[in-house]
Every structure is written in C-alpha cells, then in structure tokens.
C-alpha cells in the first residue's frame, strides 16, 4: 500500500517528462538553438506563470511564442504594443447594442486579452497607462470593466517581448508589472552552426511547422503535479536566504547587495525560485528539490526583481553581475545550522 503513491508519482513524472519533451521537439522543428530560452518558456507554462523575453530585433522571440502556440491546443492572440495603444484596445469595452424591440443596452466586447496565450509584442513601446492594463489579468486572471469582473479562460499565459536597446517611443516597464513575470529571459545571438541551420531552413523553401501535442486540461494537470514535488525544510531555507540576500542592509544581505542594490526581491521571487526548481527536479526524474535546482533558476527568477542603485548604473553593472556574486556568497548551510553542528 505504501508503494502505490510513489508508483503513481513515478508514472505522473514519466508522463510529464515525455509530454515536455514532445512540446520541446515540436518547437525545435522551427526554432534553432536557444535551448535555455525554450526551457525557460516551458517552465513558465508548466508552473502557470508569465515570461518576459528580452533581446534585440530579429532573434526569433516572437517566432518562439508563435511556435509554442502552434504546439499547444490553446487559444492564441497577438497584441502589437505601440505608443497609441489604449487599455480598451487590450481589455475590451462596453458598446451600445440595439435589441430587436428597439431597446438599447450595453454589451461587453471582449478584447484580445481574452485568450489563453497572449503575445504582448514589444511591450515596452506602450505607455505606462496601457501597460498597467495587464496587471489584473496577469495576477488575478480576470478583467474588470464597468464594475463587472470577467474571468479569463484557464490556463492563461502572457508572453511578452521587449527590445533592450534604448530607442524613441519606448517606456520602461513598471516594477509592479515586472514582478508579475515569472521569468525574465535574455535572448542572445545564435552561434555559427545555428545560423547555418537557420539559413538552410529559411532560404531553401522549407516551411517547418509545429504540430499540436498538448491541450489546456493536460497543462493544468501538470501544473498541479509541479506543486506536489517535495522541498525539504533546509532546501527551502536556502531559497529564502537567496532572496533575502538581495535586500540591502538586511540581516542576510551580501556585500554586493549593499553596494549596488536599491531594492531587492519581493516574496514572488522566492515563490518563483521554488516552483521553477520543482520543474527542474521533475525533468531529472526526482520528486524533491535540490540546491542545484535552485541555483539553476536563480538568474531568470530574480534578475527583473532587483533594482540597482546609481553606483551600479554608473559602473555599467547589470543585475546578473550582482546576483552571481550574491549566489556565491550564500551558503547551503544556514548560520543557525552551522553553529548547531559546531
């Protein structure tokens, strides 16, 4: 009897790994390389969070999200963010409709946010007012218009792209919105071999397309499985201290934190660390989170939740530089446990 739950967990984990690899294989038909970026996006999906992809134009960020939508049986909408985009263009609005008997009434016309995968393309080109229209949808999975709450269909994901190069007509994302993204993924350049494969696929008439291999119900079931993965108290404490180490002048603050950080991670940061680490554990065939799982998801989980001070900006230091120093400074064994052993 005691072996039945573990056997069930083994079967669920094996199914998770198989379906994960199926989706990844379909994406690989279209997207060349960027394995860590693909893994980061899939982690967001299986956790139930949103992803922000940052990179210069032409690296395939939009194509990746479109390909992901092709591999999943989920509703998909793309919103092109521009400076003149208004909140109603995203959420929808009440319009006056005339009934057959001549009476007029308000009817809610849904906007493109009412989809299961929403691509917010070049999100930093919209004004802060328009960007804030996503806050409720991303956190509560609902939209409030005219005092009426409209629920979004589950599962619901926002995949946003932005260009890091400062140009006219761009607006920095508010910290409150950045914090609602599970991961911030930095998309880099392709290698020599990857560029060769890209040219072979795009200049010789080939048009590969991903096939649908997973539906929304399966995705929700896997999100529940991720939360069933165990994390031991001492490993969870390590995750907590990794987040607390980003708080300047705090009891766990690292030297780099006190020197370069103005504001540290919110509680969402440590929640992200734990959930993303659970996905890593499942992919390795384990049902418990390790220290290494946490370290592997540290940068994408926290790089957008750390606000640097003027000194860091003046010296050209970015959040990844600071977080790597913080990661090196935090011991797996807490001070209380270390003293108890001594």
Residue 195 tokens, joined: 């560029």
* pLDDT grade for 168, boundaries at 50, 70 and 90: low
Q: How many CB atoms lie within 10 A of CB 132?
A: 15
Residue 252 tokens, joined: 């766990």
CA 77, CA 118: separation in Å to the nearest integer? 5
Is residue 340 scored above 70 in pLDDT? Answer: no
* pLDDT grade for 58, boundaries at 50, 70 and 90: confident
Is residue 39 scored above 80 in pLDDT? Answer: yes
Which of 1-10, 45-54, 64-73, 313-322 is the least confident region?
Answer: 1-10
Q: How many CB atoms lie within 10 A of CB 311?
A: 12
* pLDDT grade for 29, boundaries at 50, 70 and 90: confident
Question: Which one has a higher pLDDT value, 270 or 173?
Answer: 270
Which of 84-88, 220-224, 233-237, 333-337 is the least confident region?
Answer: 333-337
Token pair 């994302």 is found at: 173
How far apart, in Å, are the Cα atoms of 327 and each of 5, 254, 315? 35, 9, 20
What pLDDT is stored for residue 109 in this prediction?
85
Closest to 309 measured CA to CA, from 259, 265, 266, 269: 259
Average pLDDT (151-160) is 92
| Annotated domain spans of the chain | 1-83+116-228, 230-335
Phi-psi region of 122 (alpha: psi -120 to 50; beta: other; left: phi over 0): left
Whether residue 40 contacts residue 185, with contact meaning beta carbons closer than 8 Å, is answered with yes
CA 72, CA 126: separation in Å to the nearest integer? 28
**Percentage of residues of the chain with pLDDT beyond 90:** 43
Closest to 39 measured CA to CA, from 56, 55, 58, 23: 23
CA 337, CA 342: separation in Å to the nearest integer? 9
Rg of the Cα trace of the chain?
A: 22
For the segment 70-99, what is each residue's pLDDT rounded down to a tens digit?
A: 898 888 999 999 888 898 899 988 787 777
What pLDDT is stored for residue 336 in this prediction?
53
Residue 135 tokens, joined: 């806050």
Sign of the dihedral through C-alpha 209, 210, 216, 217: positive
What pLDDT is stored for residue 169 in this prediction?
65
Name the DSSP letter for residue 273: H
- CATH class of the structural domain 1-83+116-228: alpha beta
Q: Residue 134: enclosing H or E segment and its boundaries?
A: none
What pLDDT is stored for residue 64 in this prediction?
87
CATH of 230-335, one of 1.10.10.10, 3.40.50.720, 1.20.120.450, 1.10.8.80: 1.10.8.80
How far apart, in Å, are the Cα atoms of 315 and each of 65, 150, 260? 34, 46, 10
Q: How many CB atoms lie within 10 A of CB 85?
A: 18
Provide the 3-class DSSP secondary structure of residue 94: strand
Is residue 273 scored above 70 in pLDDT? Answer: yes
Provide the 3-class DSSP secondary structure of residue 181: strand
Is residue 151 scored above 80 in pLDDT? Answer: yes
Is residue 341 scored above 70 in pLDDT? Answer: no
Please tell me the pTM assigned to this model: 0.87
CA 276, CA 217: separation in Å to the nearest integer? 20
For the segment 120-134, what is each residue's pLDDT rounded down to a tens digit?
A: 998 888 888 888 888
Is residue 6 scored above 60 in pLDDT? Answer: no
Give the distance from CA 137 to its chain's centroid. 14
Name the DSSP letter for residue 123: G
């Amino acid at each position: 009897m005691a072996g039945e739950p573990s056997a069930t967990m083994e079967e669920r984990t094996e199914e998770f790994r198989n379906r994960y690899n199926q989706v990844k294989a379909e994406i690989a038909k279209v997207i060349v390389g960027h394995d860590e970026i693909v893994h980061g996006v899939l982690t967001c999906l299986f956790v139930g969070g949103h992803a922000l992809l940052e990179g210069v134009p032409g690296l395939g960020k939009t194509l990746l999200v479109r390909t992901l939508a092709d591999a999943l049986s989920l509703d998909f909408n793309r919103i092109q963010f521009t400076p003149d985009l208004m909140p109603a263009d995203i959420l929808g609005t009440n319009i006056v409709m005339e009934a057959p008997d001549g009476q007029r009434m308000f009817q809610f016309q849904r906007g493109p946010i009412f989809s299961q995968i929403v691509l917010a393309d070049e999100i930093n080109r919209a004004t802060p007012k328009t960007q804030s229209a996503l806050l409720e949808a991303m956190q509560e999975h609902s939209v409030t218009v005219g005092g009426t709450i409209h629920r979004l269909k589950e599962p619901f994901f926002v995949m946003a792209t932005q260009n890091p190069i400062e140009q006219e007509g761009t607006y920095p994302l508010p910290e409150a919105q950045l914090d609602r993204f599970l991961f911030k993924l930095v998309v880099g350049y392709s290698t020599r071999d990857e560029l060769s494969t890209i040219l072979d696929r795009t200049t010789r008439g080939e048009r590969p397309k991903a096939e649908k291999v997973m539906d929304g119900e399966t995705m929700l079931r896997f999100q529940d499985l991720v939360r069933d993965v165990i994390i031991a108290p001492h490993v969870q404490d390590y995750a907590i201290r990794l987040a607390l180490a980003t708080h300047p002048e705090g009891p766990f603050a690292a030297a780099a934190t006190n020197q370069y950080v103005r504001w540290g991670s919110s509680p969402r940061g440590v929640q992200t660390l734990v959930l993303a680490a659970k996905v890593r554990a499942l992919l390795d065939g384990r049902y418990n989170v390790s220290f290494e799982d946490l370290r592997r998801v540290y940068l994408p989980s926290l790089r957008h939740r750390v606000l640097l001070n003027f000194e860091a900006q003046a010296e050209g230091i970015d959040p990844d530089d600071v977080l790597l120093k913080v990661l090196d400074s935090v011991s797996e064994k807490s001070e209380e446990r270390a003293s108890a052993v001594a």
